[in-house]
Amino acid sequence: MTAQHVTRLAPSPTGALHLGNARTFLVNYLLARQRSWRVRMRVEDLDGPRVKPQWAGRMLDELRWLGMDWEEPVVLQSRRGAVYRQALERLIRMGAAYPCVCSRKDVELAGGAPHDDDATGVYPNLCRGRFASLEEAAATGRPVAWRVRTDDAEITVLDRFAGRRDFNLKRVCGDFVVFKNDSLAAYQLAVVVDDAEAGVDCIVRGDDLLDSAARQIHLRRLLGLGPEPAYWHLPLVVGPDGRRLAKRHGDTRLEHYRRLGAPPQRVLGVLAYWSGILDRRREASLEELIPLFDPARMPHTPTVFTKADDDFLLGR
């Protein structure tokens, strides 16, 4: 008997769920239901002071409001610190991770990227080989993060939507953070550990995370976590200025439209129109959309949120 594929919805409660997030979750959900994947839910609440705990429950409620469901229990990354620490210790034992005391200013002065794991640019490996132990790094009096070594080699991401992409991590990002200096696991490590433990082998998300797929493949290989998942990286929803959807484009939160009386079918209609499922904006149920979705009809360029979308959602 063929094993059932597994995907996950993974909201991050650093703000409210907006239409761009919802479009990605919808495509993920439609693929899962069409192809009989199991759907799991994970709340990615490790982003320190940016996390707003009250948003986690609201996000789950809003996805349920749209008609989505998933297997229980809901996994909270903030409760899995010990598991991530075990993965870090394994990387340390094999010599793949090393302590780093670089401040943001240190890195910027060296001509590299800022000191967080989501930064773009290349870390200049200032601390690689600098310390013989954690104790030696801590003796500097600076907070200690942990970075994983990268190689001068190509990692190929065979994306089911975006196509083949090749990344040389040494050139793309350099050695990247896997544990932050606040003693919390960084996104890249936490995601890899969680996906492997949950058996997730199908990942659908925004194409701003394409290079993250390469970092995560690198970590999976180091940790011996089996074959890479299948990936679908989707173009983002942007405002008229071409920048990713945000407050500067007005209130695009699902909460906003829900509060003003938009039914879930109207929201789904806009998301489906953006995803090539419908040829015009109209109300639609989730059950109607499941058989209609065709990844081949999805646009390969960013979707622009327009006044016409806003007018339709508000019933104008």
Tokens 């640019």 map to which residue? 121
Architecture of the domain made up of 6-79+235-313? 3-Layer(aba) Sandwich (3.40)
Tell me: the pLDDT tens digits for 53-111?
A: 888 999 999 999 999 999 999 999 999 999 999 999 999 999 999 999 998 888 888 87
Q: What is the mean pLDDT of each run of 10 residues along the chain (316 residues)?
A: 88 92 98 98 90 89 98 96 98 98 87 50 91 95 97 96 96 96 96 98 96 97 95 96 83 95 98 98 98 96 96 94
Q: What are phi and psi of 140, to 5 degrees?
A: -70, -15
Q: Can you give the pLDDT at residue 54?
A: 84
Q: Can you give the pLDDT at residue 148?
A: 98
Q: Can you give the pLDDT at residue 117?
A: 46
Q: Can you give the pLDDT at residue 107?
A: 85
CATH of 81-189, one of 3.30.930.10, 3.30.300.130, 2.60.120.380, 3.90.800.10: 3.90.800.10
Give the DSSP letter string of 230-258.
EEEEEPPEE-TTSSBS-GGG---BHHHHH
Tell me: the pLDDT tens digits for 138-153?
A: 999 999 999 999 999 9
Q: Can you give the pLDDT at residue 115?
A: 40
Alpha helices by DSSP H, listed for the chain, are: 19-35, 53-65, 81-93, 104-109, 134-138, 169-172, 187-198, 210-223, 254-259, 264-274, 286-292, 307-313
Q: What does each C-alpha distance from 165 to 69, 87, 154, 158 come to in angstroms?
A: 32, 27, 10, 7
Q: Return the domain boundaries, the chain.
A: 6-79+235-313, 81-189
Nearest CA to 213 among 200, 224, 227, 203?
A: 203
Q: Can you give the pLDDT at residue 15?
A: 84
Sort strands 145-148 and 97-100 into parallel, antiparallel or unpaired: antiparallel
